[in-house]
Amino acid sequence: MKKRILALSLAAAMLVGAMASCSAKETEAPSSAPVEKKDVKLVMWGAQEDQDYLKEVTDAFCAQYDKANVTVELKVMGEDKAKDEALKDIDSAGDVYGVALDQIGALADSVAIYEIPQAGVDELGKTVDMSLGKYNGKYYGVPYIAECSTILFYNKSMLKEEDVATLEGILAAETGTQSKIAMRLGVAWDDITWFATTGAKAFTDGDRTICDWNNADCVEMFKYIGTLKEAGMVSIGEGPDMANALKDGTIAAGIIGSWNANATKEALGDNYGVAKMPTVGGKQMVTFASGKVYVINAKCENPDAAIDLITWVTNADNQLKRFEARNALPTASALANNEKILADPTAAAELTQFGFTIPNAPIYGTVDYWNTAAALVEKAFNGELADDAAIQAELDTLVKGYKGE
């Protein structure tokens, strides 16, 4: 239960300090004269799958907001693309949008996002782990989703619980299919498991950048990756494609993030199965522990209102609504013992996986790990690394890239 509470309590976002700064800017009017409210428009980016949810909660925000005549315009922009689109044109970016934790650094370095004032940080520290939204000693993000990079989904009519406990068990199971399990190989967010499971480390500590992804255990792991295609693993790049492959029986299991849970549930119906990541070679597969954070555009003309909007969207009631709509684990500590969340099989699997994770926050600001690592895993899977020497050379290059050498 302690791990579950920690997982569900990664952060809650209530920037109450903004209220004081907002009121301090107003000029006192005589008590007999009403205070004229200004018109405020905020543009909020959100994923396509979140649009119905966001419309409900932002409409409610506008209806109850009494500091200004506020309107919120929603535009479709997923967290996976928001950072890149914002950096293309900060002026055209949303006032509020969500990104993955590891993307705060690039946005802050480009002066593209608003720094949360210290007064707000002090107040927030009473209820939220603000370190999750911190970069280079400053605070930029408000966490609203806690997640592991991947968990395991499977068809219960093809695999048993004991099968999915190990990757070897899945590959050996009699499923009646040539391909047993799918993964988004070549997607570094998912591929981190091949490095982390070995116990190899990569992190930045002040001026030191540590990375030993070229050690002997990683070489052995990459040799193993080279055997997986013949053993029954297939690479599927998109969530809907994986859900459809599970539905039509092309595969029996898939490794992907919980964001694909609803599509997989719809595809499998009563045969929907979900579990933590399996073991491989006797070692529990390790994933990223991460999350998503709301940030505010540095060019936002009404940052106080933007903070209030984020506070509203991330309150416990609205985070519970997001969970019900998207199976997104909340960050509000008030939901840590929520019975509905703890009873949900997808949430239970992800909360269990949190016990076998590494934080993705320490890779902020590192060099081009993502593309290099993804390409290397894909090469290994496709049998393009001929021997130990070839694997070692590629891993050495990866480490040099991570360290910026």
Domain ranges of the chain: 2-147+289-358, 149-288+361-403
CATH number of 2-147+289-358: 3.40.190.10
* pLDDT > 60? residue 190: yes
Cα 160 to Cα 176: distance, rounded to the nearest angstrom: 14
* pLDDT > 60? residue 352: yes
* pLDDT > 90? residue 168: yes
- Cβ atoms < 10 Å from Cβ of 52: 9
The three state secondary structure string of 62-121 is HHHCCCCEEEEEEEECCHHHHHHHHHHCHHHCCCEEEEEHHHHHHHHHCCCECCCCHHHH
| Fold match flag (2-147+289-358 vs 149-288+361-403) | yes
Cα 372 to Cα 395: distance, rounded to the nearest angstrom: 10
Q: Which residue has the tokens 């930045």?
A: 204
Q: pLDDT-based confidence at 126, cuts 50/70/90?
A: low
Lowest-confidence pick of 18-27, 28-37, 119-128: 18-27
Strands 69-76 and 142-148, sheet pairing: unpaired
Provide the total of helices (H) and of strands (E) in the chain, helices listed first.
18, 17
* pLDDT > 70? residue 135: yes
* Cβ contact 261:153 at 8 Å: yes
Task: List beta partners, residue 329.
Answer: 146
User: For a pLDDT cut of 90, what percent of the chain falls above it?
Assistant: 62
Side-chain half-sphere CA neighbours of 15 within 13 A: 31
* pLDDT > 80? residue 165: yes
pLDDT tens readout for residues 372-400? 888 899 999 999 997 999 999 999 998 98
Task: Kindly report the average pLDDT of the chain as a whole number.
Answer: 86
CATH architecture of 149-288+361-403: 3-Layer(aba) Sandwich (3.40)
pLDDT tens readout for residues 255-307? 999 989 999 999 999 999 999 999 999 999 999 888 899 999 999 999 989 98
Q: What pLDDT score does 110 carry?
A: 94
Cα 75 to Cα 32: distance, rounded to the nearest angstrom: 41
Considering only CA atoms, give the Rg of the chain: 23
* pLDDT > 80? residue 35: no
Between these two residues, 103 and 131, which has the higher pLDDT value? 103
- Cβ atoms < 10 Å from Cβ of 37: 12
Six token digits for residue 393? 């050379």
Q: In this structure, what are the phi and psi dihedrals at residue 394, rounded to the nearest 5 degrees?
A: -70, -40
Least Cα distance to 292 among 76, 47, 4, 6 occurs for 47
Q: What pLDDT score does 361 carry?
A: 64
User: For a pLDDT cut of 70, what percent of the chain falls above it?
Assistant: 86
Terminal-to-terminal C-alpha distance of the chain? 43
pLDDT tens readout for residues 196-225? 999 998 887 777 788 899 999 999 999 999
* pLDDT > 60? residue 12: no
DSSP-based three-state secondary structure for 256: strand
